[in-house]
Amino acid sequence: MRREGARRGGRRPRTGRAGYHHGDLPRALVDAALELISREGVRALTLRAAARRAGVSQAAPYRHFADKDALLAAVAEEGFRLLTASMRTAAPSTGDDPLGRFRGFGLGYVAFAAGHPAHFRVMFGREVADRARHPGLQAAGGEAFALLVDAIRACQQAGLVREGDTETLAVSAWSTVHGLAALVVDGQLDRDGSPDVAALAHAVTGSLFFGLAAPRPAGG
């Protein structure tokens, strides 16, 4: 998806040549992993297969990743960065529409999942065995969560979301969008014929907001 060719040709970015050395093996391995996961599932992701796809030998990845888990962790971490980016993109940054911003985060979350299913699976699946050994993973996830918490707090301060423990409300909101995203990614919603993810996302976040809304002042 991102850069792929454009370096074996003869260009020579600061860290990369052509020929014996690959140029940017870590990037190529991550891309290969994503491709394999997308096309054949996580089970098909093999260090050797990724190396083959990148055009290097079986042991080359070990120059850049301690083990298979480290490669998966890199995928997951990139995913979290893309997630927060997607959320920020989908949310209007105007200060005077906290509810719209909040909703944008939800839509961005679902859009990310639908657009990057391979990332999403690695991020939230159990593929990365020992999460604690890969710092920056929990941190990257925490950043996205913090985004949500801040948005909800802003809504509360504007009187648009009912009072209560902000983190608990955030868990509620996160659960809702995460659940929809997970169901979409796992193909669990392809029951009869409702593949319109965007419409579902709007409906689901809509219900969510009704649930979190502050009680209308009488007569409003």
Binding site for DNA (CB under 7 A): 15, 17-23, 25, 45-49, 51, 56-60, 62-64, 66-69
Binding-site member from 13, 22, 177, 195 for a second copy (CB under 8 A): 177
Of 28 and 169, CB closest to a second copy: 169
Stretch that binds a second copy, among 4-12, 23-31, 89-97, 172-180 (CB under 8 A): 172-180
Of 69 and 143, CB closest to DNA: 69
φ, ψ for residue 60, nearest 5 deg: -60, -40
Binding-site member from 49, 70, 99, 183 for a second copy (CB under 8 A): 183
CB of 118 to DNA, least distance (A): 16
Give a three-class secondary structure readout of the chain.
CCCCCCCCCCCCCCCCCCCCCCCCHHHHHHHHHHHHHHHHCHHHCCHHHHHHHHCCCCCHHHHCCCCHHHHHHHHHHHHHHHHHHHHHHHCCCCCCCHHHHHHHHHHHHHHHHHHCHHHHHHHHCCCCCCHHHCCCHHHHHHHHHHHHHHHHHHHHHCCCECCCCHHHHHHHHHHHHHHHHHHHHCCCCCCCCCCCHHHHHHHHHHHHHHHHECCCCCCC
CB of 28 to DNA, least distance (A): 8
Binding-site member from 124, 143, 158, 166 for a second copy (CB under 8 A): 124
Of 31 and 204, CB closest to DNA: 31
Q: Is 42 in the site for a second copy (CB under 8 A)?
A: yes
Residues 189-208 that bind a second copy (CB under 8 A): 189, 191, 194, 200, 203-204, 206-208
85 binds, among a second copy, DNA, none (CB under 5 to 8 A by kind): none
Q: Is 39 in the site for a second copy (CB under 8 A)?
A: no
Residue among 81, 75, 79, 70 nearest 134 (CA): 70
Q: Is 115 in the site for a second copy (CB under 8 A)?
A: no
Q: Is 49 in the site for a second copy (CB under 8 A)?
A: no
> Which residues, other chains included, contact 34 with Cβ-Cβ below 8 Å and sequence gap of 6+?
1, 75, 118, 119
What is the rounded CA–CA span in Å between residue 111 and residue 212? 22
Binding site for a second copy (CB under 8 A): 41-43, 121, 124-127, 129, 131, 141-142, 145, 167-169, 171-172, 174-183, 186-189, 191, 194, 200, 203-204, 206-213
